[in-house]
Amino acid sequence: MPKVTVDGQEIEVPAGATVLQACELAGKEIPRFCYHERLSIAGNCRMCLVEVKPGPPKPQASCALPATEGQEIRTDSEMVKTAREGVMEFLLINHPLDCPICDQGGECDLQDQSVAYGRGASRYHENKRAVTSKNMGPLIKTIMTRCIHCTRCVRFSEEIAGVDEIGALYRGEDMQITTYLEQAAKHELSANVIDLCPVGALTSRPYAYEARPWELKKTLGIDVSDAVGSNIRIDSRGREVLRVLPRINDDVNEEWISDKARYQVDGLTRRRLDKVWIRKPKGPKGKLVQASWEEAFKKIAAAKPGKSIAAVAGDMLDCETMFAAKALLKASGSSLIESRQTGMDYDVSNLAAVNFNSGFSGIEEADAILIVGSNVRWEAPLVNVRLRKAAKRGAKVFIVGPEWEPTYPATFIGQDVSVLSKLPAEVTDALKAAEKPAIILGGGGFAAGAHAASVKIAHDFNMVRDGWNGFNALHMAAARMGALMLGFAQDGGIADIVKAKPKVLLALGADEVDFTRFEDSLKVYIGHHGDKGAHAADIILPASAFTEKPGTYVNTEGRVQRGDKAVFAPGDAREDWTILRALADALGVNVGFDSFHELRDAMYADAPALAIEGEVTDYGALAKSVKGNAAPKGTIPAPIKDFYLTNPIARASAVMQQCSNELLLGETLAEAAE
């Protein structure tokens, strides 16, 4: 723990800290462009110069200088001031003065720091350098003349994303940042370089020229495009969500989000359900006709469901909506609630057996990982970042299931799930030798019935030990863990509900259900997008998307998080719980709450863990065994066919469609032609 003096203030800094970190600990602001906490140190922008004694009598780059005992650091001396001014002047020599037409304006590091640390004017009278802009695909817009060569984007793609997509060609003044042959950046996290870029060289293409940052209302939200529960900031203007940015949460998403989370939001204004619709006549031949709320409620009441009512929850629902539905069904005397839309029926009696117990930050420490049926890169890109960190630390990774391209060394040990009952020696040896062995059971693994076998492996290899729980279920639906905590699961999965032949089926944003199995039921779709669920519905009640209602979400590691309402839902659409509350009146039952506040209180009474925000829920010990075949057979399916089109919002999004066409389909087409 070296002691250093920063501007006369003596502080103790952790061993291995840099001078820049020491200055920050002392509360001093150090300007920087190339330095980033989560990337390697480059030391090429020279903006973080400070004066350090002992040392050469010249300013030193604090980001790359280790703090040592007895250093005297000055950040306020004349030397530092002129050094910063000098660096700033050099950086601006070739930087165009196009701030008025630059999308970074208002949130630009260069702009801010030039105001704070720069000279008033430039002494440079020569021509500025001009650089051709590069194609980086449908998400990243480049204006490379603005680039100041900090190489954050290069380091991100190499170190965090794990794909060497971006590089710096040529040298010196002629250095140019580009992808190889200007191919599109294809990684699922590629758009994070937009946030990393300290200037306006890499900006968001879909958001180009849309708004200025100071015009936007910022709302804290939770991403629902996967089960990671990334913390996001929803930027909206008026009634429209213009963009989504990541928030820093070291336990969940660090400071990245997937491209889908970032860019699916343009789908929130397309294909929206903003009116009540009733299918007349009922059945597949009928046509949807616009109607009023009263008509719709009357029609549902006329079906006289009584106890014969069921609810299926979709993948992006908040806990409040699900609880409201549960309360409605309970008041009607029914318990037919299910959330696993595609018909999975794994055992949920022990929630620890369906939870990501290691936690996202915990899995980084694992030293042997067996992935069962999960394309982690597509199912949870941010978990893949953690796995990459684990692999970089030396963890051995084995994958059962369809092959995909991990961004770290990993061994594929077969597509057939039967391999779990006779694991190859290299896997068993690695798991036995590991101090923190882990298994990750993904969507494909659940679908192939590998749940019981995975729990058995967890126990066989003693993965639950002191201070470590290595059993991890990786879900794909943002609503899954919340739904399971609220009991949205039947023993036999959705088949139980089919068997019960409910008179009324409430599909709460459920788009992946096979509705042909519910031909006799009155299918009421309560959701926000005209997707598969709405096509099959008899009555459509327009509801809110995740940006249009406050909500509680539980991510796949059991972390309870809350998002706020950013904008109002369009047209006649209402917040989901109000629809269910009104439906309770129409059906003549009492759900026991009249306000959102009362609803939440009732929900907390039902599932107390949901009241503890930000924390990982304790589901108790992992069950010794779960129901199911411990020696399953069959090929593991790949549940995600197209990363960019996994949910109704993304399917309605023009940007996601474009990504799918250009980044995924374009690739397969080109390969087929070769």
Contact footprint for another protein (CB under 8 A): 163-174, 179-181
- Give the phi and the psi of residue 392 in degrees, each rounded to 5: -65, -30
**Residue closer to another protein, measured from CB, 166 or 372:** 166
**Residue closer to another protein, measured from CB, 169 or 433:** 169
Smallest gap from residue 149 Cβ to another protein (A) = 13
Spatial neighbors of 37 by CB under 8 A, at least 6 apart, are none
**Residue closer to another protein, measured from CB, 166 or 300:** 166
Residue type, 84: R
Smallest gap from residue 450 Cβ to another protein (A) = 33
Neighbours of 544 (CB within 10 A): 27
Smallest gap from residue 35 Cβ to another protein (A) = 21
86, containing H or E segment: helix 78-93
Strand 287-291 relative to strand 276-280, pairing: antiparallel
523, containing H or E segment: strand 522-527
**Residue closer to another protein, measured from CB, 598 or 667:** 667
Strand 504-508 relative to strand 522-527, pairing: parallel
Strand 49-53 relative to strand 72-74, pairing: antiparallel
How far, rounded to the nearest angstrom, does the alpha carbon of residue 19 sit from its chain's CA centroid?
Answer: 33
**Residue closer to another protein, measured from CB, 129 or 624:** 129
Whole-angstrom distance, CA of residue 10 vs CA of residue 20: 15
Smallest gap from residue 147 Cβ to another protein (A) = 15
Smallest gap from residue 435 Cβ to another protein (A) = 24
Smallest gap from residue 121 Cβ to another protein (A) = 27
Smallest gap from residue 170 Cβ to another protein (A) = 5
**Residue closer to another protein, measured from CB, 124 or 180:** 180
Greatest Cα pair distance, the chain, in angstroms, is: 87
**Residue closer to another protein, measured from CB, 177 or 486:** 177
Smallest gap from residue 224 Cβ to another protein (A) = 34
Whole-angstrom distance, CA of residue 110 vs CA of residue 104: 10
**Residue closer to another protein, measured from CB, 120 or 172:** 172
524 in helix, strand or coil? strand
Nearest to 144 by CA among 135, 134, 136: 134
| Signed CA dihedral, 618, 621, 622, 626: sign only | negative
Whole-angstrom distance, CA of residue 399 vs CA of residue 191: 27
**Residue closer to another protein, measured from CB, 170 or 214:** 170
127: its two tokens: 């021509």
In order of 359, 440, 458, 498, the CA distances from 626 in angstroms are: 21, 16, 12, 24
Whole-angstrom distance, CA of residue 15 vs CA of residue 505: 61
Whole-angstrom distance, CA of residue 165 vs CA of residue 186: 8
Smallest gap from residue 85 Cβ to another protein (A) = 28
Nearest to 481 by CA among 222, 134, 148: 222
**Residue closer to another protein, measured from CB, 180 or 209:** 180
Nearest to 318 by CA among 509, 475, 511, 552: 552
Smallest gap from residue 383 Cβ to another protein (A) = 23
**Residue closer to another protein, measured from CB, 171 or 597:** 171
Smallest gap from residue 154 Cβ to another protein (A) = 9
Smallest gap from residue 164 Cβ to another protein (A) = 3
Nearest to 158 by CA among 143, 180, 141: 180
Neighbours of 559 (CB within 10 A): 24
In order of 100, 118, 251, 387, the CA distances from 122 in angstroms are: 18, 9, 44, 47
Smallest gap from residue 173 Cβ to another protein (A) = 8
457, containing H or E segment: helix 451-460
**Residue closer to another protein, measured from CB, 137 or 401:** 137
**Residue closer to another protein, measured from CB, 140 or 458:** 140
In order of 51, 189, 235, 448, 486, the CA distances from 222 in angstroms are: 43, 17, 13, 30, 19
Residue with tokens 């503890």: 612
Smallest gap from residue 408 Cβ to another protein (A) = 14
Residue with tokens 């703090």: 67
**Residue closer to another protein, measured from CB, 164 or 598:** 164
345 contacts 449 by C-beta, under 8 angstroms? no
Neighbours of 199 (CB within 10 A): 20
